[in-house]
């Protein structure tokens, strides 16, 4: 079985994200979609015992004065979760409150490393920034990238050097995102 993993903050989930999800579905037998929802941080208390101004920043929604808060994120996630699970039975959707999508991906990779017979291959989907984040932790994958058991992006690299050299990585990501 081929497993696809796709996670992000999706603020909000766009047609571009959906295109990557569709690619994951096309390439994989099963897909996990990890949807990050930022939690509100409790306010810090100042020297005088009063709450300090929040350091937490939320994105504005378009040109409006509304913000993409955890509550808005949860409402949008609930809509996507029910639609995806209804229409795409091979996709499991999970919010990652209290964790991060990347952490959940690594937890699955850990399980896979302990039991390599679980899947034929695991592919991690995402944009250029996401792939770069995983590459920063490349030693974590051990030999799974070199053997092709774990792949970053939708195109199989010619060698692990496709991930390590910045110029080759840029070409590799471009090919992965433009694949027909």
pTM for this model (two decimals): 0.80
Write out pLDDT tens, residues 115-173: 989 999 999 998 778 888 888 888 888 889 888 899 988 878 887 787 777 788 777 77
Is 166 part of any domain?
A: yes
Range of the domain at 10: 2-40+57-178
| Domain CATH code at residue 13 | 3.40.50.620
> Does residue 48 form part of some domain?
no
Give Cβ neighbours of residue 4 (< 8 Å, ≥ 6 apart): 24, 25, 27, 28, 30, 31, 32, 122, 123, 125
The answer as to whether 25 is a domain residue is: yes
Per mean pLDDT, which range of 35-44, 74-83, 123-132, 150-159 is the poorest? 35-44
Res 179: pLDDT: 56
Asked if residue 51 belongs to a domain, the reply is no
- Residue 45 located in a structural domain: no
User: Residue for token digits 């992000």?
Assistant: 8
User: Within 13 Å of residue 104, how many CA atoms lie on the same side as its CB?
Assistant: 22
What secondary structure letter does DSSP report for 94? E
Q: Is 46 a member of any domain? A: no
User: What value does the mean pLDDT take over residues 74-82?
Assistant: 85
Domains identified in the chain, total number: 1
**pLDDT, position 3:** 96
Characterise 121 by phi-psi region: left (phi > 0), alpha (psi -120 to 50), beta (else).
beta
Determine, yes or no, domain membership for 52.
no
Residue 169 lies in a domain: yes
């Amino acid at each position: 079985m081929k497993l696809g993993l796709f996670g992000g903050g999706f603020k909000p989930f766009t047609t571009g994200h959906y295109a990557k999800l569709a690619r994951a579905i096309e390439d994989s037998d099963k897909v996990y979609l990890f949807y990050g929802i930022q939690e509100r941080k409790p306010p810090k208390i100042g020297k005088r015992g009063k709450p300090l101004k929040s350091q937490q920043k939320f994105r504005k929604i378009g040109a409006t004065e509304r913000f993409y808060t955890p509550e808005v994120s949860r409402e949008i996630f609930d809509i996507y979760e029910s639609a995806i699970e209804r229409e795409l039975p091979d996709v499991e959707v999970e919010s990652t409150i209290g964790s991060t999508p990347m952490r959940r991906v690594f937890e699955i990779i850990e399980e896979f490393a302990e039991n390599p017979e679980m899947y034929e291959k695991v592919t991690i989907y995402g944009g250029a920034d996401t792939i770069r984040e995983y590459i920063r932790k490349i030693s974590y994958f051990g030999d799974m990238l070199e053997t092709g058991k774990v792949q970053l992006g939708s195109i199989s690299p010619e060698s692990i050097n496709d991930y390590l050299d910045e110029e080759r990585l840029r070409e590799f990501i471009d090919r992965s995102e433009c694949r027909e």
